[in-house]
């Protein structure tokens, strides 16, 4: 590269003319332009190229594209960050909901375990489902005589209380058969046969979110159906299964308690009320705050029961007592209470019945027993199983329970003494005791003859 040397000499004492000064400045200006050009050219050489207008435009265009891409990437990152925060908020809400549900489980168990009325358990179970899942509706089906019957409902649904389904019929019936919780996703994965045979029938038109089988041991005792829910519930199936399990325990416990209470009240052989229970029933009627105006009783006894036992054995004797208990139970009418009073004695309590009405009921029972074909009846005296009984009415014949039973017992012995297979009405005049005493003596003589 050519070297350029510029020498400018100024004489200290020599004056410079103005024309020479102007000429010098012009030369210096030209020289500076050349220097700038050389510097720019040298810079282009160092960079590898001499930029032109087209190059500058290309760089500007690329810079704009890079800036647009960076801006787009920034927007995407911002949107992703917003979505992430939204998911975090949803997760926090789900966690809080799950925590609330977990906290409520002990309360669920306590509330359901405290229910002792079998009819109240479905109501409490649906209340809990509504609190936790917030479905648009919920229904409780109980198994009754082999069918699923809707016994309780919350919210609006096309199925009403009393709606009945066979096991396997519709969504509820299929849940009862499978004994597993079912979601809409589970229905989608079922095979075509199940969909056509089971699920297509009685499917809720408003949709559903979950069904829960109530299983006690190996037996389905009920099904809970829940409608769509706006709440996203993590582990909904597991929480629902817990509710169903607690409900099943509550139902089982109530049934066991009811059975124990029933066993405490009933006679183990005949299934009728035992002596304590039938006596208490009579006490409750007479001592009620507003008792009926009259209460009659019919105390009856199997004729020649000792002969039946001695001839046929004690096991057939027990079977005779069981058969008579079934006969009395199946033919008792409204406001009639029947119980085994001891041995071969039975007591019928008739609410608000006059003495004549009680006598008519007693005769109806006596004739029914006489004409029933009990086993070994032909070996009994007279070729039939018969009864004798006494009728008494409160307050006409007695002022309290014990006196009333004693009056009926005296009339019973009078019937025995009069030849058996008959009903005697208590004589409220007071002569009944004397008749009963004579009848008892005659009865003893008859036993000796037999």
Comparing CA positions, the residue from 208, 318, 339 lying closest to residue 267 is 339
* Residue 296 to residue 357: CA distance in whole angstroms: 9
Contact indicator for 341, 299 with CB cutoff of 8 Å: yes
Helix (H) or strand (E) holding 60: helix 53-113
- Based on the residue annotation, tell me whether 185 is a catalytic residue of this protein: no
Count of other CB atoms within 10 angstroms of residue 161: 12
Distance between CA atoms of 439 and 419, rounded to whole angstroms? 9
Long-range contacts of 370-374 (CB under 8 A, 24+ apart): 370/421, 372/323, 372/327, 374/320, 374/323, 374/324
Helix (H) or strand (E) holding 29: helix 18-47
Contacts of 240 (CB under 8 A, 6+ apart): 129, 133, 181, 210, 212, 224, 226
> Pick the catalytic residue: 344, 345, 378, 438?
344
| β-pair type (137-144, 147-155) | antiparallel
State residue 343 phi and psi, 5-degree precision.
Answer: 60, -125
Q: Which residues are catalytic?
A: 344
């Amino acid at each position: 590269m050519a070297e350029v040397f510029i020498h400018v000499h100024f004489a200290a004492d020599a004056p410079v003319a103005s024309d020479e000064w102007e000429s010098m400045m012009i030369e210096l200006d030209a020289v500076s332009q050349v220097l700038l050009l050389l510097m720019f050219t040298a810079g282009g050489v160092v960079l590898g190229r001499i930029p032109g207008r087209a190059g500058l435009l290309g760089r500007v265009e690329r810079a704009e594209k890079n800036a647009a891409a960076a801006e787009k990437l920034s927007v995407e990152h911002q949107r992703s960050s917003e979505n992430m925060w939204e998911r975090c908020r949803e997760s926090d809400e789900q966690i809080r909901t799950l925590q609330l549900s977990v906290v409520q489980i002990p309360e669920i168990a306590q509330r359901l375990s405290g229910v002792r009325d079998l009819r109240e358990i479905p109501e409490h179970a649906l209340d809990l489902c509504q609190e936790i899942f917030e479905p648009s509706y919920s229904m409780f089906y109980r198994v009754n005589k082999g069918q699923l019957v809707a016994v309780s409902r919350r919210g609006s649904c096309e199925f009403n209380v009393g709606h009945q389904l066979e096991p396997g019929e519709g969504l509820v019936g299929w849940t009862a058969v499978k004994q597993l919780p079912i979601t809409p996703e589970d229905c989608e994965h079922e095979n075509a046969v199940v969909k056509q045979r089971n699920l297509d029938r009685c499917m809720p038109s408003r949709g559903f979110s979950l069904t829960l089988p109530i299983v006690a041991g190996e037996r389905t005792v009920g099904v809970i159906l829940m409608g769509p829910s706006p709440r996203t519930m993590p582990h909904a199936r597991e929480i629902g299964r817990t509710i169903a399990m607690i409900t099943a325990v509550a139902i089982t416990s109530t049934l066991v308690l009811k059975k124990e209470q029933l066993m405490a009240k009933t006679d183990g052989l005949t299934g009728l009320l035992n002596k304590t229970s039938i006596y208490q029933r009579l006490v409750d009627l007479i001592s009620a705050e507003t008792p009926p105006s009259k209460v009659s009783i019919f105390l009856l006894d199997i004729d020649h029961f000792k002969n039946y036992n001695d001839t046929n054995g004690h096991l057939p004797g027990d079977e005779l007592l069981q058969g008579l208990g079934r006969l009395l139970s199946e033919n008792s009418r409204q406001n009639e209470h029947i119980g085994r009073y001891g041995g071969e004695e039975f007591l019928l309590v008739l609410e608000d019945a006059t003495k004549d009405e009680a006598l008519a009921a007693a005769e109806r029972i006596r004739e029914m027993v006489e004409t029933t074909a009990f086993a070994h009846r032909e070996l009994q005296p007279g070729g039939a199983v018969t009864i004798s009984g006494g009728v008494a009415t409160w307050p006409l014949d007695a002022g309290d329970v014990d006196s009333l039973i004693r009056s009926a017992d005296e009339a019973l012995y009078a019937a025995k003494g009069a030849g058996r297979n008959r009903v005697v009405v208590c004589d409220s005049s007071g002569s009944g005791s004397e008749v009963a005493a004579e009848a008892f003596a005659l009865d003893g003589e008859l036993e000796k003859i037999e």
